[in-house]
Amino acid sequence: MSTVQPKPSMFSLISRNGTPGATTIRQAQSQSGVSNARYLNGTNRPCDNCTCSPGLLSRNSRRSSIYLRRISNTSASHHHHHSHRNLHSSSSNNSPSPAMPSSSAANSVQGSPRRRQQRARTASTSGAESLYTVDTSCDSDGHREINTSLRLEKLRLEMAKHELGVYIVPSEDAHQSEYTSPADERRAFISGFSGSAGVAVITRDVTCMNQTPEGLAALSTDGRYFTQASNELDFNWTLLRQGVVGDLTWQQFAIENAIQMSLDSGDVVKIGVDPTLFTFEQIKSLERQIENNLQKAQNSKGQVKLIAVKENLIDAIWNLFEEAPQREYKPVMKLDIKYTGEETNSKLKRLQAQYFDKFGSNTLILNALDEIAWVLNLRGDDIEYNPLFYSYLIIEDGKKLTLYTDAHERFDTLKDYLTEINCTLKNYNDIWSDIRRVASSLHAQNKELLLTEEASWKMVNGIIAKNYQIVSSPIRDLKEVKNEVELEGQKLAQVKDGLALIQYFSWMEDQLVNESELITEYEAGEKLLEFRSKLDNFKGLSFETISSTGSNAAIIHYAPKPTLSAVINPNKIYLCDSGSQFLDGTTDTTRTLHFGTPTQEEIDNYTLVLKGHVALATLKFPEGCSGFQIDAIARQFLWTAGLDYAHGTGHGVDTYGPVHSMGVGIGFRDYCKKFEIKPGHLISNEPGYYKPDCYGIRIESMIFAKVVDGVEFNGKKWLEFETVTRVPFCKKLINVSLLSEVEKKWINGYHKLIWETYSDKLDKKSVAYNWLKKETSAL
């Protein structure tokens, strides 16, 4: 199917009652006999609070979850009350040991902040189409999806005002954050795809003379989200699978469609972007691709121009469909030296000595939130799961700090500290005028302003004299190497989190097998949160818990919803990927379990994944290696069987910061090639295998790199990994005959360490104690 279509035909949908479905505002008006405003406001729709998408509602991949929810609903009258009581009660046998005191009561945790916000918005936006709500009135199953036709139509009308042929909507916010607040989830709003990574490209046919604009829409994402995107995107969208042969990149889709429209119209076709959401490096790359494609185009007559659009076009239409979320400014705290191991002034001195002298400038602008938080030893809560706060930071003369952020009252208790580190507060948007001021001052001194590769296009455009230098962020390099205090904190965090996971998995097996309870994926995730909430210094989850049964486990970043969640089937694989934020550190652990009798295929494939996990955990390698070079170590056994996984093998993790830190990684992405692995790097080890519509397997532990004592070759030191996660593997999924003696020895040693860590912290009569004893016994 061609993805370049200058004059796309409009879709004519047939609804369940046989009435043609509305794909435009004009069609909706003619069918319902009401005004555009009333339709947009949610009145006179075929069902309450949404526009249904038949293309999504009929998908087979949704039926299993809906069927299992019917079972749960059918059982509710005689069973759910008992199940709910067990889910939310705490047994003394499962309570944490005195060595790990509770910081908050379990019953004070009512789900994640985002889930609470979603429930609140469901109540407050009744009658308005919303991406964030699930309305059980949509059909007999309570299932709801977004029909994006009206959203795309309104966006194309905005594009027409700016004479755009193409508009690009990324996932990231102005700080290039992977995880964003609801106010920055513009791509999710326009596409209906809720994954954390992806780019939406919307075209407007410039030759179309109809009152209703026409065009195409495509969503590009990586292998983690292929299945999820296929489920969430409606009939308006084409899925562009990154890295799949034959699929266009989002850049190719945008450029080829723009060139075709230019050839058809004979006019310049503009590609528009919000300049705060794209880095200057991304823009330069896109401009090069436009030039290269124009040279290859028919007779080179196409004319395409990339332009910055000051007004974000998604923001311009958001309130037509639902109340647009606003940024929330939460409290900010200083992270104590006992957790950071280094004060801000010391970090600035290292920055000067190791980088500023080399760059020939000591004035640097930072816009990555994790880097700002690390430099200042401050943490916030503006983005769910990430202890960060919205801000920019300018470091002048290597020591003068200016922090650009809003809601200054949240810094009232930090005034003395800010004075101590020579930091001045200014309003968030003052950064734009100050960029010009600082750059102009440096220009007069014949000096350059340092920008990182995360600097936005708007930042660069503000430097009139163009006296800037774009560098690989020195802050990222510094913070990625954990000091001894940070590493000890991370180890403690992993041990604490391991206790909660052991209690959780043992509770799951007992409830599903011995008590025959019906537990949904979402309820299970809430129970895990209850266990974690009792741990010392627990500050919340590090990402939305992936609690998935059966075929849902094959969706790599699946996350269950309160009203759309499958009942966990003990006779199928269960995958749980979850993590915590502690003042001591950040955790990320995945374990795949089976509570019944697994198939031989499941056992063998789990063992292949485990062999790769062990191979990476035991690897010794020379310094200077990148994560790209060692990625195949974890894939080798799957490759031998003709299998693979469509995600990286490992990512960096911050200390009480984002769970995905992009300064180091193991995989095939560019950043994994760019950064070598150094002693002190904390990385995940997470090979996997996913069989669509059947099951998924992933085993993830945290490892850190350290020097191998006494080993050196050609002047190079050798490195190895230490595994710090403390959660056993699933014994019934291990085919011991596929393991080498070395692998069995390592697994037995790892399980022995786990047993020694927790056995005296658990009541010997408890479910958790007996489960742990079983799972850590020698192979």
| pTM for this prediction | 0.82
Q: Say yes or no to pLDDT of 709 above 80.
A: yes
For 90, list phi and psi in degrees, rounded to 5: -120, 125
Mean pLDDT on 430-439: 96
Q: Are 535 and 492 in contact (CB under 8 A)?
A: no
Cβ neighbours around 616 below 10 Å, total? 24
Can you read off the two tokens belonging to residue 341?
């191991």
Q: Are 470 and 663 in contact (CB under 8 A)?
A: no
Task: With cut-offs at 50, 70 and 90, classify the pLDDT of residue 299.
Answer: low
Q: What is the DSSP letter of 224?
A: G
Contacting residues for 12 by C-beta, under 8 A, at least 6 apart: 20, 21, 23
Q: What is the DSSP letter of 380?
A: -
Cα–Cα distance measured from residue 324 to residue 560, given in angstroms and rounded to the nearest whole number: 24
For 453, list phi and psi in degrees, rounded to 5: -65, -15
Cα–Cα distance measured from residue 653 to residue 668, given in angstroms and rounded to the nearest whole number: 18
* Number of Cα atoms under 13 Å in the Cβ half of residue 484: 0
Cβ neighbours around 66 below 10 Å, total? 16
Give the 3-state DSSP-derived string for 43-105, with helices as H, strands as E and coil as C: CCCCECCECCCHHHHCCHHHHHHHHHHHHHHHHHHHHHHHHHHHHCCCCHHHCCCCCCCCCCC
Can you read off the two tokens belonging to residue 354?
């190791």
Can you read off the two tokens belonging to residue 331?
């409290």
| The total number of residues written for the chain in this structure | 779
Closest CA to 490 of 653, 308, 293, 605: 653
Position 557 scores a pLDDT of: 85
Q: Give the tens place of pLDDT for each residue, 134-181.
A: 332 333 333 445 789 999 999 999 999 999 999 999 999 999 998 899
Can you read off the two tokens belonging to residue 165?
């042929």
Q: Where does 385-463 show beta strands of DSSP type E?
A: 392-396, 400-404, 423-426, 449-452
Q: Give the tens place of pLDDT for each residue, 207-264.
A: 998 889 999 999 999 988 898 899 899 999 999 999 899 999 999 999 999 999 999 9
Q: Give the tens place of pLDDT for each residue, 565-607.
A: 999 999 999 999 999 999 999 999 999 999 999 999 999 999 9
Distances (CA, A) of 449 to 235, 282, 363, 466, 481: 47, 19, 6, 9, 26
- Any idea which residue has 């299970």 for tokens? 524
Walk me through the domains of the chain, giving residue ranges and CATH numbers.
Answer: 13-56+144-318 (3.40.350.10), 342-480 (3.40.350.10), 484-737+744-775 (3.90.230.10)
Closest CA to 449 of 674, 275, 462, 479: 462
Give the 3-state DSSP-derived string for 578-600, with helices as H, strands as E and coil as C: ECEEECCCECCEEEEEECCCCCH
Cα–Cα distance measured from residue 295 to residue 293, given in angstroms and rounded to the nearest whole number: 5
Beta strands at 268-273 and 303-308: parallel, antiparallel or unpaired: parallel
Position 56 scores a pLDDT of: 41
For 207, list phi and psi in degrees, rounded to 5: -95, -5
Q: Say yes or no to pLDDT of 16 above 50.
A: no
Give the DSSP letter string of 710-761.
Answer: EEEETTEEEEEEEE-------GGG--GGGS-HHHHHHHHHHHHHHHHHHGGG
Contacting residues for 553 by C-beta, under 8 A, at least 6 apart: 573, 574, 575, 592, 690, 695, 696, 697
Please tell me which residue, 125 or 197, carries the higher pLDDT value: 197
Q: Are 384 and 114 in contact (CB under 8 A)?
A: yes
Position 302 scores a pLDDT of: 75
Task: Tell me which H or E stretch contains 218.
Answer: strand 217-221
Position 298 scores a pLDDT of: 60
Cα–Cα distance measured from residue 695 to residue 574, given in angstroms and rounded to the nearest whole number: 8
Mean pLDDT on 726-741: 98
Q: Give the tens place of pLDDT for each residue, 22-55.
A: 333 333 333 333 333 333 333 333 333 333 333 3
Sign of the CA dihedral with 672 first, then 678, 681, and 685 last: positive
Closest CA to 613 of 772, 743, 705: 743
Q: Give the tens place of pLDDT for each residue, 601-618.
A: 999 999 999 999 999 999
